[in-house]
Amino acid sequence: MTDVSGCAAPDQAAPLPASVDLEKETVITGVVNNADGDAVGGAYVRLLDSGGEFTAEVVTSPEGVFRFFAAPGSWTLRALSRHGNGDLTVDATRGVNEVGINVAA
Amino acid sequence: MSRETALVSADWAEKNLEAPGVVFVEVDEDTSAYDGGHIPGAVKIDWKKDLQDPVRRDFLNQEQFSRLLSERGIGNDDTVVLYGGNNNWFAAYAYWYFKLYGHGDVKLLDGGRKKWELDARPYSTQVPSRPATSYAAKAPDTSLRAFRDEVVAAIGAKNLVDVRSPDEFAGRLLAPAHLPQEQSQRAGHIPTAINVPWSKAANEDGTFKSDDELAKLYAAAGLDDTLDTIAYCRIGERSSHTWFVLKELLGRENVKNYDGSWTEYGSLIGVPIVLGDEPGKA
């Protein structure tokens, strides 16, 4: 396993790699906040397709940032954390789609 | 094998953090999570640096595995409790690996790091020092591991379970949706494989569904109980999760993990590939 990137989520707060072609990729990115408006690091963000089926999951960076490489269309983001959970629906298009998710107990 | 012997709960884990003869091991591909805080007393194994051969495309041999566990201070008689991120994918891979090399008592922590975090249980940044042991791995049990020729021969003859997401199965994506999609191998799936994404076996908090729910899931997907089974994904860790469910929780016989998985199969010259949502014909 030296030439194939694995399945663990890359650093969520890192800048987009130069190899990512935003003409082709659909990036869904954003921040998870708690009821006090503070960013929640270590939250689990799940990407569900338009039928509600699980597609992918990442852990937010210490700054509460997450990022998915998806496809154009309707997606649901579901955040789970020790501060509670939250949901958001997004209609993604090609390029970068920025969103925010609030979690509450 | 059964749920009682193969799995421990977060409650059990928290009560047994200092139990003699019990070693907690965090297994991840990205071990920065461990460095930022782990279950108190746990040692770490890096899926890529520690478990893969540094040169050949293969995992550690018997001697290398013995050396690794000796260095980590794990003895043959220890109860090893594995956990990690990514819903225990890499921990399940390590579980399969410990079984392959004949470790006596190995268990998965149900829900892994996720359940631990969502329960707001304690972490430690202290790296434990465990005295080195003289671990002796057994010869690899190849009844648990499928190789490519066996997989090609299994088309239309055995259960092939593709545990990737539906879009990866159909060939619309080459990797999970949290990763860039730039890989170059062919997309699609092995003919006659059924698609049961690994995630269907897990609850939202990362714990495994009940035995009853799991049995129904695979029956509804068309898994034939009378046939041997090979599970695969992209690099063999998500399929370890499903291998664990079928072999260790549901107690099915003759279940193998194809760790070469799609990164190998989808790069082979001349093998059949099916595109789209249906399993396809042999």
A8-17, B254-263, B268-277: which has the minimum mean pLDDT? A8-17
pLDDT of residue B181: 54
- Contact check, Cβ <8 Å, A53/B166: yes
- Contact check, Cβ <8 Å, B179/A58: no
**Helix (H/G/I), strand (E/B), else coil: B136:** coil
Which DSSP category does B116 fall into? H
pLDDT average, residue stretch B177-187: 67
**Number of separate domains in chain A:** 1
Q: Answer yes or no: is A98 within a domain.
A: yes
In b/e form, how buried is each residue of B190-218, taking b as 16+ CB within 10 angstroms? Answer: bbbbbbbbbbbbbebbbbbbeeeebbebb
User: What's the mean pLDDT when you consider all of chain B?
Assistant: 94
pLDDT of residue B29: 83
User: How many other CB atoms sit within 10 Å of the CB of residue B230?
Assistant: 24
pLDDT of residue B179: 65
**Helix (H/G/I), strand (E/B), else coil: A95:** strand
**How far is Cα A32 from Cα A17, in angstroms, rounded to an integer?**
22
Concerning whether B233 is annotated as a catalytic residue, the answer is yes
Q: Name every chain A residue with its beta carbon within 8 A of the beta carbon of B32.
A: 11
Q: Active-site residue among B13, B154, B233, B235?
A: B233
Nearest chain A residue (CA) to B233: A7
Q: Please determine, looking at this structure, whether the domain spanning B144-265 carries the CATH number 3.40.250.10.
A: yes
Residue A43's CATH number:
2.60.40.10
User: How many other CB atoms sit within 10 Å of the CB of residue B185?
Assistant: 15
**How far is Cα B161 from Cα B3, in angstroms, rounded to an integer?**
21
- Contact check, Cβ <8 Å, B47/A6: yes
- Confidence check: pLDDT of A1 > 60: no
A78-87, B60-69, B111-120, B180-189: which has the minimum mean pLDDT? B180-189
Which DSSP category does B274 fall into? B
User: How many other CB atoms sit within 10 Å of the CB of residue B264?
Assistant: 21
pLDDT of residue B180: 58
Residues of A with CB under 8 A from a CB of B: 1-2, 4-11, 17, 19-21, 24-25, 42, 44, 46-47, 49, 53-59, 67-71, 78, 80-82
Q: Answer yes or no: is A75 within a domain.
A: yes
B94-104 pLDDT per residue, tens: 999 999 999 99
The number of C-alpha atoms within 13 Å of B127 and in the hemisphere containing its C-beta is 10
Q: Answer yes or no: is A90 within a domain.
A: yes
Q: What is the band of A10 on the pLDDT scale with cuts at 50, 70, 90?
A: low
Q: Name every chain B residue with its beta carbon within 8 A of the beta carbon of A82.
A: 117-120
pLDDT average, residue stretch A83-100: 95
Q: Name every chain A residue with its beta carbon within 8 A of the beta carbon of B183.
A: 4-5
pLDDT of residue B44: 96
Q: What is the band of A9 on the pLDDT scale with cuts at 50, 70, 90?
A: low
| pLDDT > 70 fraction of chain B, expressed in percent and rounded | 97
- Chain A: nearest CA to B198, how far in angstroms? 10
The CA–CA distances, whole Å, from B234 to B72, B197, B259 equal 29, 12, 8
**Least CB–CB distance from A7: residue in B32, B205, B237:** B237
Q: Which part of chain B has CATH 3.40.250.10?
A: 3-140, 144-265
The residue segments making up the domain with residue A81 are 26-102
Residues 6+ apart with CB under 8 A from A33: A39, A40, A64, A100, A101, A102, A103
Q: Name every chain A residue with its beta carbon within 8 A of the beta carbon of B180.
A: 5, 17, 19-20, 25, 69
Nearest to A41 by CA among B230, B254, B123, B226: B123
- Chain A: nearest CA to B15, how far in angstroms? 20
Nearest chain B residue (CA) to A48: B177
| pLDDT > 90 fraction of chain B, expressed in percent and rounded | 87
pLDDT of residue A2: 32
pTM for this model (two decimals): 0.90
Residues 6+ apart with CB under 8 A from B153: none
Choose which CATH entry (3.30.70.1150, 1.10.3720.10, 3.40.50.1820, 3.40.250.10) describes domain B3-140: 3.40.250.10
B5-42 pLDDT per residue, tens: 999 999 999 999 999 999 999 999 878 889 989 999 99
Residue B205 main-chain phi, psi, to 5 deg = -85, 10
**Least CB–CB distance from B178: residue in A17, A20, A69:** A69
Show the CA angle centred on residue B182, arms to residues B177 and B183, nearest 5°: 100
> Which among B178, B181, B205, B217 is the top mutation candidate for probing chain A, defined by the most A β-carbons within 10 Å of its own β-carbon?
B178
pLDDT of residue B205: 96
pLDDT of residue A7: 56
pLDDT of residue A100: 96
Q: Answer yes or no: is A4 within a domain.
A: no
Q: Answer yes or no: is A60 within a domain.
A: yes
**Least CB–CB distance from B118: residue in A47, A49, A80:** A80
- Chain B: nearest CA to A37, how far in angstroms? 19
Show the CA angle centred on residue B209, arms to residues B106 and B115, nearest 5°: 65
pLDDT of residue B279: 97
Question: And the tokens for A93?
Answer: 């298009």
- Contact check, Cβ <8 Å, A8/B86: yes
B14-28, B112-126, B183-197: which has the minimum mean pLDDT? B183-197
Q: Answer yes or no: is A83 within a domain.
A: yes
pLDDT of residue A70: 87
pLDDT of residue B233: 95
